[in-house]
Amino acid sequence: MAAETIPPAAAPADERVREKSTLSKVLSRPEVGALAGVVIVWVLFAIVASRHNFISWATTASILNRAAPLGILAVAVALLMIAGEFDLSVGSIIGFSGMVIMVLVTPTTGGGFGWTLWPAVGISLLFALTTGLFNGAIVIATKLPSFIVTLGTLFAFRGVSIAVTRLLTDRTQLGQLDIVAGYGLAQKIFASNLNLFGSQFNVAILWWFVLTALATWVLLRTRAGNWIFGTGGAVDAARNVGVPTRRVKIALFMTTAFAAWLVAVIQVVQFTGADTLRGTGQEFQAIIAAVVGGCLLTGGYGSAIGASLGALIFALVQQGIVITGVEGDWFQVFIGGILLGAVIFNNFIRTRAALR
């Protein structure tokens, strides 16, 4: 090759670059902060609540059961945040998807359509994906910050669910899903319990783990993952080298909608009914979990495993407070403190380890 005619730049081993230690390599992983958080919070409650049987399979099961739905949401929200966008409307999409199912299966005498369960589940998925597509399309078309756009759709979707449900059924809560045809299978897939070590683990935990693994694989080992990081890291540069940044964003808005739908189905089947207010506030919890898990608010950095660990911290605190008998009012103080602490910690790690 002609390249050999000039000796390569004498490969100067730059004396200003220190060998990166294995420790700082580990510390530069985005999920490290959240992992440390899980350990700290768990140890804290293990000590404080030792009299209340915190270290037990029963407690572990109830923590994981709480973490699972939030984890499912947080993983999808994390992917979107890595691509540089927010979705505040996921909470509404949970309520919306659940109500679509319940309105469709409610007997005609009750103002519904009297369908069996599975077609209703399918149609609600279509509706949910459409809401995601809608969010994405508006963000792309208007170039507005997705924070504002989805703040708008957060209210709009919730309003539609309440208004239409009340219009058709005169109610805001619908129940008795367990007498609808198809419930038995749905119950097995979405809401059954696994009896391990004498404790009841929800099957939702499996869904959560599988989605986390899948999202991690996509992020780190597929083209789409590279595109997600690129889109969030520097959208113009990514577009310049041929990344379909719009398609990436729309697909991810649809992914968060899908996650919200899955959570809705799990809850509807579990509680054999739906409430128009279901999912309220979940959008913030999911974003908190993603941020605690190492996602940058500015995009381009983060991890699915981290977001899952963030959800786990959330559930640990929730359950820990219940078990220790601390007034539940303190829960939000705890979560707020952990969020701030995590962001400061993550910033510290990133400037110290990653960019060194």
Partner 1 sequence: MSTNGTALLDVREISKYFGSVIALKDVSMTCEAGQVTCLLGDNGAGKSTLIKTLSGVYRPDEGEYLFDGRPREFASPRDALELGIATVYQDLAMIPLLSIWRNFFLGSEPTKGWGPFRRYDVRFAKDTTRQELAKMGIDIRDPEQPVGTLSGGERQSVAIARAVYFGAKVLILDEPTAALGVKQAGVVLRYIVQARQRGVGVIFITHNPHHAYPVGDHHVILRRGRVYGDYSKEELGLDRLVQMMAGGEELENLAHELERAAGKASGEAGDDLARAAEALEREAKDPGA
* Of residues 1 and 47, the one with the C-beta less far from partner 1: 1
Report the residue from 20, 166, 188, 352 that binds partner 1 according to the rule CB under 8 A.
20
Q: Are 103 and 112 in contact (CB under 8 A)?
A: yes
* Of residues 3 and 333, the one with the C-beta less far from partner 1: 3
Residue 34: strand pairing partners: none
Please, which contacts does 343-348 make with residues 24 or more away whose CB atoms are closer than 8 Å?
343/291, 343/292, 345/33, 345/36, 345/37, 346/30, 346/33, 346/291, 346/294
Report the residue from 21, 96, 225, 260 that binds partner 1 according to the rule CB under 8 A.
225
Is residue 23 part of the contact set for partner 1 (CB under 8 A)? no
Q: How far is CA 343 from the centre of its chain?
A: 18
Q: Are 294 and 302 in contact (CB under 8 A)?
A: yes
Interface with partner 1: number of residues (CB under 8 A): 38
Specify the stretch interacting with partner 1 by CB under 8 A; choose among 72-80, 91-99, 136-144, 225-233: 225-233
* Of residues 226 and 272, the one with the C-beta less far from partner 1: 226
Residue 34 burial (10 A CB sphere; 0-12, 13-18, 19+): buried
- Report the run of H or E that residue 82 belongs to, with start and end: helix 57-82
CB of 235 to partner 1, least distance (A): 9
Considering only CA atoms, which of 300, 315, 319, 313 is closest in space to residue 342?
Answer: 313
Report the residue from 23, 109, 223, 281 that binds partner 1 according to the rule CB under 8 A.
223
CB of 227 to partner 1, least distance (A): 8
Residue 200: strand pairing partners: 195
Query: Interaction with partner 1 in 262-321: which residues (CB under 8 A)?
Result: 296, 300-301
Contacts of 121 (CB under 8 A, 6+ apart): 101, 186, 265
**Residue with token string 């899980």:** 38
Is residue 233 part of the contact set for partner 1 (CB under 8 A)? yes
Specify the stretch interacting with partner 1 by CB under 8 A; choose among 120-128, 233-241, 303-311, 340-348: 233-241
Report the residue from 237, 330, 347, 352 that binds partner 1 according to the rule CB under 8 A.
237
Is residue 230 part of the contact set for partner 1 (CB under 8 A)? yes
* Of residues 216 and 276, the one with the C-beta less far from partner 1: 216
* Of residues 120 and 305, the one with the C-beta less far from partner 1: 305
Q: How many Å apart are CA 207 and CA 267, to the nearest integer? A: 13
Chain residues binding partner 1 by CB under 8 A are 1-3, 5-9, 11-14, 17, 20, 217, 221-223, 225-227, 229-230, 233-234, 236-238, 240-243, 296, 300-301, 354-356
